[in-house]
């Protein structure tokens, strides 16, 4: 399973970078979305794709029974999804405002502050 | 329970929340912001005293012992950074009383400012790598919103670049955390340091180290990843630029210092060699970029980049003296750079522009302001006896002792070019006659209104700090020495954090 996931994650990164390199700011934001999702999948994959029971401890015991799944990667991904969601909401509003003010969605025409 | 570690995060969060509750009452928000900033400074000094006495101050969140819960850790470097955050908070809060326009205040200027401070303080104090990512994001989202307050053309363009590259950096940081977690199965930085010492997959460790280097390099605006900084920092409201200039890139530098002394210290020849090259090119490109500019805040922005190079150089040489120099440089730089941005705001108030070609004649009507500019400007260039001289002296001495002649030569050359830039600003803004056709009513009237006097208060305070470090550097040097000793001996940090679990 890991090789398939690894290739999928790699493709997502490639797609994200490709979208970010294009001229339109809308595609830039789509690239950012793909990028954050690729990072989440990477955490999911690299933390180990083992089949395990839910990490619940039976009443009276102090350690779980048998092999359990690691809950931490899920917690990390959940946090990262929430953060990415907030940040992307901001990015969408930003490109909308930027379009209204600059009257262009072409990144090549946003060079006034570069030189 | 060492509560003082959590207070520098809680106070700005609380202040920000209270400011939101008084959304419609700007006067109350202003007062709250001022009180909150002073409280932050006070608690940060309390933290500094505890750290000075105990070495490391550790607090386990929710009483989950390390490495299972999130840990807040303050060593000397964190404490120094938090005290500087407190000082900048006070300076900016006073400055904002006069500089923040009502339209900015209406859109949440103060809540965002304190949220940003909470994010910065959190990044300095956390002992958990994923928590560091979360604080980075807290800081970023606040900085995004602050940067576009006002919504002008240039701000939109700058913000698109700033947001994109910082999100890219966050994604790389997150990926690196994922790979690191896959390798060692823990997120606590002290625990990671222990487990990485035992890990066998040296190649993968180097890959992860370089990913951290890129992620933090973007945040710190190091070569070749700095392009967002000069494209965006000069566009925001001036108090915001000053705060960003002082603190935000230094969070990246702090993260580099933390990660490359505590976690990735196995393969120093490889990682710190890259850091050394980065430092050299960062210094050079920053200062050469500044030489081509004729906009007050853009020159200063490029100088942030070049100064970051000196700090990274301190880390890259990785000798005790070099680390002392790096920490000393951070302390000196935050104070000086914020001050220069604040002064650019005063000249903007007087003449309504940041363009060097349209500015002029300030020495004639405002000699006091001109002297105030000279103190941080000459300090930035490293003229004795100001703070920058000692910062550069320590780093260059460390370079000579490490036989790193090329990089030492670059550092000296960059100091000279910095002096050139500062002289350019001095000649254009303060010394030359005011160009014809410029509206100079505010300048010639000679009176200084009460609201402009408020702008002078933080500038004078920060200039006094610069002079103090320059004339009485010994105590500051001892703080830097203390923190460098801790950085070079990560075992102390590890024992302090994991001591409770063993």
Question: B49-106 pLDDT, tens per residue?
Answer: 999 998 888 888 888 887 888 899 999 999 999 999 999 999 999 999 988 888 888 8
Q: Does the pLDDT at position B330 exceed 90?
A: yes
Decide: B135 and B112 in contact? Cβ < 8 Å: no
CB-based contact B336:B355 (threshold 8 Å): no
The whole-number pLDDT of residue B501 equals 45
**DSSP string across B218-245:** HHHT-TTS-THHHHHTTTS-HHHHHHII
The pLDDT assigned to B441 comes to 64
Would you say residue B168 has pLDDT above 70?
yes
A6 touches B at CB < 8 Å:
no
Residue B150 reports pLDDT greater than 90? no
Among the partner residues B141, B177, B232, nearest to A90 by beta-carbon distance: B141
DSSP B281-314: HHHHHHHHHHHT--BHHHHHHHHHHHHHHHHHHH
Kindly state the percentage of chain A with pLDDT values over 70. 98
DSSP state of B3: G
DSSP helix/strand/coil, B358:
coil
Residue A75, judged by CB atoms within 10 A of its CB (0-12, 13-18, 19+), counts as exposed
Q: Do A112 and B163 touch (CB under 8 A)?
A: no
- Give the per-residue pLDDT at B502: 43
Question: Mapping DSSP to helix (H, G, I), strand (E, B) and coil, where does residue A68 land?
Answer: strand
Query: Is a pLDDT exceeding 80 seen at residue B500?
Result: no
Mean model confidence pLDDT for chain A: 88
Quote the CA–CA distance of B478 and B438 in Å, as a whole number.
Answer: 49
Q: How far apart are alpha carbons B328 and B259 in whole angstroms? A: 18
Among the partner-chain residues A73, A90, A114, the one whose CB lies closest to the CB of B144 is A90
pLDDT at A30 exceeding the cut of 50: yes
The whole-angstrom distance between residue B61's C-alpha and the CA centroid of its chain comes to: 26
3-state helix, strand, coil in chain B (%, to 5): 80, 5, 20
Please, is B253 exposed, middle or buried when counting C-beta atoms within 10 Å of its C-beta (0-12, 13-18, 19+)? buried
- Note whether B400 contacts A: Cβ–Cβ < 8 A: no
Chain B CA closest to residue A96: B156
**In this complex, which of A72, A86, A94 lies closest to B159 when CB atoms are compared?**
A94
**A115 pLDDT band (50/70/90 cuts)?**
low
B57: left (phi over 0), alpha (psi -120 to 50) or beta: beta
Q: With pLDDT > 90 as the criterion, what percentage of chain B qualifies?
A: 60
Q: Out of A2-11, B346-355, B445-454, pick the least confident.
A: B445-454
Span B285-310, average pLDDT: 91
ipTM of the complex as predicted: 0.94
**Site of tokens 């930003």:** A94
Whether A47 and B175 lie within 8 Å, measured CB to CB: no
User: B65 vs B303, which has greater pLDDT?
Assistant: B303
The residue in chain B having the minimum alpha-carbon distance to the alpha carbon of residue A71 is B185
Classify residue A61 by burial, with Cβ atoms within 10 Å: 0-12, 13-18, 19+: exposed
Task: Decide if A47 and B182 are in contact by the 8 Å CB cutoff.
Answer: yes
Averaged pLDDT for residues B32-48? 94
Read off the tokens for B502. 């063993």
Task: Answer yes or no: is pLDDT of A23 > 80.
Answer: yes
Q: Does residue B72 sit in helix, strand or coil? A: strand
Q: Report chain A residues whose CB lies below 8 A from the CB of B179.
A: 42, 46
Whole-angstrom distance, CA of residue B373 vs CA of residue B342: 10
Q: Could you tell me the end-to-end alpha-carbon distance of chain B, in angstroms, rounded to an integer?
A: 18
User: Domain A1-50+70-109 belongs to what architecture?
Assistant: Orthogonal Bundle (1.10)
Cross-chain CB nearest to B167 (options A79, A87, A111): A87
CB burial string A96-108: b at 16+ within 10 A, e below: eebeebbeebebe
Number of Cβ within 10 Å of residue B454's Cβ equals: 15
Q: Model confidence over B426-485: pLDDT tens digits?
A: 998 888 888 877 666 666 665 667 778 888 999 999 999 999 998 988 999 999 999 999
B171–A36 C-beta distance less than 8 A: yes
In this complex, is the C-beta atom of B175 within 8 Å of any C-beta atom belonging to chain A?
Answer: yes
Is there a contact between B323 and B315 (Cβ–Cβ < 8 Å)? Answer: yes
b/e string for B386-422 if b means 16 or more Cβ within 10 A?
bbbbbbbebbbebbeebebeebbebbeebbebbbebb
A93-105: pLDDT as tens digits:
999 999 998 888 8
Please indicate whether, in this complex, the C-beta atoms of A79 and B134 are within 8 angstroms of each other.
yes
Better-scored residue on pLDDT, B18 or B62? B18
d(CA B336, CA A11): 45
- Residue B200 has a pLDDT of 80
- Residue B192 touches partner A, C-beta closer than 8 Å: no
- B164–A83 C-beta distance less than 8 A: no
In the structure encoding, which two tokens stand for residue B169, read together? 């950096």
**Alpha-carbon dihedral sign for residues B25, B27, B32, B34:** positive
**Domains in chain A: boundaries:** 1-50+70-109
Would you say residue A44 has pLDDT above 70? yes
By Cβ distance, the residue of B130, B163, B171 closest to A39 is B171
Would an 8 Å CB–CB cutoff place B201 in contact with chain A? no
For chain B, the farthest-separated pair of C-alpha atoms sits apart, in whole angstroms, at 74
How far, in Å, are B151, B260, B450 from residue B104 at the CA level? 10, 39, 21
CB pair distance less than 8 Å for B164 and A28: yes
Chain-centre distance for alpha carbon B243: 8
Contact between chains at A76 and B157 (C-beta distance less than 8 A): no
pLDDT tens digits for range A62-108: 888 778 888 888 899 999 999 999 999 999 999 999 999 888 888 88
- Please tell me the distance from the alpha carbon of residue B97 to that of residue B23, in angstroms, as a whole number: 16
- Contact predicate B231/B158, CB 8 Å: yes
Chain B residues 222-251 within an 8 A CB cutoff of chain A: 227, 231-232, 234-235
Give the closest residue to B370 by CA, choosing from B401, B399, B403, B346.
B346
Rounded to whole angstroms, the Cα distance separating B469 from B472 reads 5
Distance of CA B68 to the CA centre of its chain: 30
Residue B137 and residue A46: Cβ atoms within 8 Å? no
B436 lies within 8 A of chain A by CB: no
Name the residue among B120, B206, B119, B135 with its Cα closest to residue B170: B135
Mean pLDDT of B168-175: 94
Neighbouring C-beta atoms of residue B300, cutoff 10 Å:
28
Distance (Å, whole) CA B111 – CA B20: 6
- The tokens for B271 are 């990682």
Closest residue, chain A, to B229 (C-alpha)? A114
Residues of B in Cβ contact (< 8 Å) with A26: none
CA-nearest residue to B139 within chain A is A87
pLDDT tens readout for residues B184-195 = 888 999 999 998
Count how many residues are written for chain A: 115
The predicted pLDDT at position B113 comes to 93
């Amino acid at each position: 399973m890991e090789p398939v996931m690894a290739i999928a994650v790699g493709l997502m990164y490639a797609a994200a970078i490709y979208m970010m390199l294009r001229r339109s700011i809308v595609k830039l934001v789509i690239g950012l979305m793909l990028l954050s999702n690729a990072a989440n999948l990477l955490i999911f994959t690299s933390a180990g794709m083992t089949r395990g029971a839910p990490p619940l401890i039976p009443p009276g015991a102090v350690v779980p029974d048998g092999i359990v799944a690691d809950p931490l990667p899920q917690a990390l991904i959940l946090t990262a999804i929430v953060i990415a969601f907030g940040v992307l909401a901001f990015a969408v509003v930003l490109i909308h405002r930027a379009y209204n003010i600059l009257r262009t969605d072409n990144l090549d025409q946003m060079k006034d502050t570069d030189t | 329970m060492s509560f003082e570690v959590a207070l520098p995060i809680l106070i700005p969060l609380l202040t920000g929340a209270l400011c939101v509750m008084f959304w419609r009452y700007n006067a109350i928000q202003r007062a709250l912001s001022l009180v909150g900033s002073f409280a932050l400074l006070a608690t940060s000094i309390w933290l500094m005293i505890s750290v000075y006495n105990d070495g490391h101050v550790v607090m386990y969140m929710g009483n989950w012992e390390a490495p299972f819960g999130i840990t807040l850790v303050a060593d000397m470097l964190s404490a120094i950074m938090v005290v500087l955050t407190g000082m900048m908070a006070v300076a900016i809060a006073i400055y904002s009383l006069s500089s923040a326009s009502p339209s900015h205040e209406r859109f949440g200027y103060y809540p965002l400012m304190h949220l940003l401070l909470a994010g910065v303080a959190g990044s300095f104090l956390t002992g958990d790598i994923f928590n560091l990512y979360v604080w980075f994001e807290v800081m970023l989202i606040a900085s995004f919103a602050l940067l576009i307050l006002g919504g002008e053309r240039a701000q939109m363009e700058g913000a698109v670049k700033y947001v994109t590259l910082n999100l890219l950096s966050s994604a790389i940081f997150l990926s690196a955390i994922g790979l690191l977690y896959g390798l060692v199965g823990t997120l606590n930085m002290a625990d990671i340091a222990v487990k990485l010492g035992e890990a066998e997959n040296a190649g993968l460790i180097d890959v992860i180290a370089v990913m951290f280097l890129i992620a933090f390099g973007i945040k710190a605006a190091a070569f070749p990843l700095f392009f967002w900084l000069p494209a965006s920092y000069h566009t925001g409201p001036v108090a915001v630029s000053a705060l960003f200039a002082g603190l935000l890139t230094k969070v990246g530098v702090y993260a580099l210092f933390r990660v490359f002394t505590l976690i990735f210290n196995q393969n120093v020849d490889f990682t710190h060699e890259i850091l050394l090259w980065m430092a050299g090119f960062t210094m050079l490109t920053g200062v050469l970029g500044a030489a081509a500019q004729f906009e007050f805040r853009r020159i200063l922005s490029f100088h942030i980049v070049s100064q970051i190079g000196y700090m990274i150089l301190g880390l890259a040489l990785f000798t005790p003296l070099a680390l002392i120099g790096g920490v000393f440089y951070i302390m000196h730089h935050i104070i000086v750079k914020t001050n220069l941005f604040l002064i650019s705001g005063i000249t903007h108030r007087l003449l309504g522009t940041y363009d060097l070609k349209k500015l002029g004649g300030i020495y004639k009507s405002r000699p006091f302001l001109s002297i105030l500019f000279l103190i941080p400007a000459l300090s930035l260039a490293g003229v004795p006896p100001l703070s920058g001289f000692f910062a550069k002296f320590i780093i260059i001495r460390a370079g000579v002792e490490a036989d790193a002649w090329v990089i030492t030569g670059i550092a000296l050359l960059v100091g000279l070019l910095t002096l050139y830039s500062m002289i350019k600003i001095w000649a254009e803004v303060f010394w030359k006659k005011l160009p014809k056709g410029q509206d100079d009513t505010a300048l010639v009237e000679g009176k200084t209104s009460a609201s402009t006097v408020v702008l002078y208060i933080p500038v004078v305070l920060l200039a006094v700090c610069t002079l103090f470090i320059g004339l009485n550097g010994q105590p500051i040097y001892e703080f830097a020495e203390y923190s460098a000793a801790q950085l070079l001996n990560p075992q102390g940090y590890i024992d302090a954090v994991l001591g409770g679990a063993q």
